[in-house]
């Protein structure tokens, strides 16, 4: 039985309360992180800090003249959130459940004996596992081959993908991230409920939509290049983009994609995971104003 240890990204970058917040700013910028674990001296997790909180600390640290000049993260404990935690031995089904409940879309994995933080699981790690990505686990590539064998009878579409992947049915149907497939022409042939909900479409409405329908104009060329790369190279790693809802609102997302092939090695479709990061700052502000005026 597969466990959290098979999914997690090992040895994540961590931060401690005794480190300077200036170092934390550089860490987020250098690694383009959206979240970092906070650990104590024995490497046991005590919390997490997100990019939105880093932004607030940055403003307070550099621009609030009335605020005391505090140098260490320990001085900003109120900005530290509580993580969702599982053990390395936690079964995948339980991990998926907790990941879906996590407000940060992250689950911390700890060693059951030492209590040390040994890894982090995000929606992208789940996709890596399902699609055989070799992010830190060579075994994942074997999983991709097994899945490709199961869906080798698909020709041009992956509409019955869920039915063929019984082992991972829960991951596709109840995943906490958006998931869709595109054919070589950039037409959607499968999209899960989460994607329909996030982009404000009724069930099934996304089927047949194209890159031009779900990406804003300034991202369409990039999306088409990414599709070509998946067809040519088999995958592309995570990138940050924007998608557009049915009402033409923009949602920031991070996207990762892999290719599916039939038994003859012919490209069938993509399997793409997208994690919604929220509305653009301007639209977020407009939404808040609109709700205030009601």
How many of the other CB atoms lie within 10 Å of CB of 286?
13
For the entire predicted model, the pTM comes to 0.44
Query: Which residues is 49 bridged to in the sheet?
Result: 36
In Å, how far are 122, 201, 261, 269 from 175, measured between CA atoms? 11, 18, 23, 20
**Domains annotated on the chain, with CATH:** 4-121 (3.10.580.10), 156-281 (3.30.450.20)
Tens-digit pLDDT string for the chain (294 aa) = 789 998 899 999 999 888 888 888 888 888 888 889 999 988 899 999 988 888 888 887 777 666 566 788 888 888 899 999 999 999 999 999 999 999 998 999 999 899 999 999 999 888 877 776 444 445 545 555 565 555 454 444 444 444 444 444 455 566 778 888 899 999 998 889 999 999 999 999 999 999 999 999 999 999 999 999 999 999 887 788 899 999 998 988 889 898 888 767 888 888 888 888 755 444 444 445 445 555
| Block residue for tokens 């892999």 | 258
147-151 CB contacts, 8 Å cutoff, 24+ apart: 148/260, 148/261, 148/262, 149/263, 151/260, 151/262, 151/268
d(CA 49, CA 35): 6
Torsion of CA 134, 138, 142, 143, to 10 degrees: -60
pLDDT digits (tens, 9 = 90+) for 87-145: 999 999 999 999 999 999 899 999 989 999 999 999 988 887 777 644 444 554 555 55
d(CA 27, CA 104): 19
d(CA 239, CA 253): 8
d(CA 81, CA 163): 38
- Return the pLDDT at 74: 86
CA angle 168, 171, 175 (to 5 degrees): 165
3-state secondary structure (DSSP) of residue 212: helix
Question: Please, what's the largest Cα pairwise distance for the chain?
Answer: 67
């Amino acid at each position: 039985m597969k466990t959290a240890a098979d999914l997690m990204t090992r040895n994540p970058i961590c931060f401690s309360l005794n480190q300077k917040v200036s170092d934390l700013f550089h860490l987020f910028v250098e690694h383009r992180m959206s979240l970092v674990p906070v650990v104590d001296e024995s490497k046991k997790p005590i919390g997490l800090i997100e990019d939105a909180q880093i932004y607030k600390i940055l403003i307070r640290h550099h621009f609030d003249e009335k605020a005391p000049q505090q140098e260490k993260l320990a001085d900003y404990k109120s900005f530290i959130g509580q993580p969702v935690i599982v053990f390395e031995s936690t079964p995948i089904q339980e991990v998926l459940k907790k990941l879906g409940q996590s407000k940060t879309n992250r689950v911390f994995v700890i060693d059951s004996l030492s209590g040390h933080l040994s890894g982090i699981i995000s929606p992208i790690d789940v996709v890596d596992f399902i699609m055989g990505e070799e992010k830190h686990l060579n075994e994942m590539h074997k999983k991709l081959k097994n899945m490709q064998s199961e869906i080798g009878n698909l020709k041009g579409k992956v509409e019955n993908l869920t039915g063929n992947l019984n082992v991972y049915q829960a991951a596709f149907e109840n995943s906490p991230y958006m998931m869709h497939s595109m054919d070589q022409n950039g037409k959607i042939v499968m999209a899960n409920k989460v994607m329909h909900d996030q982009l404000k479409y009724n069930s099934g409405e996304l089927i047949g939509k194209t890159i031009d329908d779900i990406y804003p104009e300034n991202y369409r060329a990039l999306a088409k290049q990414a599709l070509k790369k998946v067809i040519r190279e088999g995958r592309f790693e995570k990138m940050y983009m924007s998608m557009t809802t049915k009402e033409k609102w923009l949602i920031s997302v991070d996207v990762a994609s892999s290719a599916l092939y039939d038994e003859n090695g012919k490209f069938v479709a993509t399997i793409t995971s997208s994690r919604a990061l929220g509305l653009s700052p301007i639209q977020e502000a407009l939404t808040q104003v609109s709700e205030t005026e009601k």
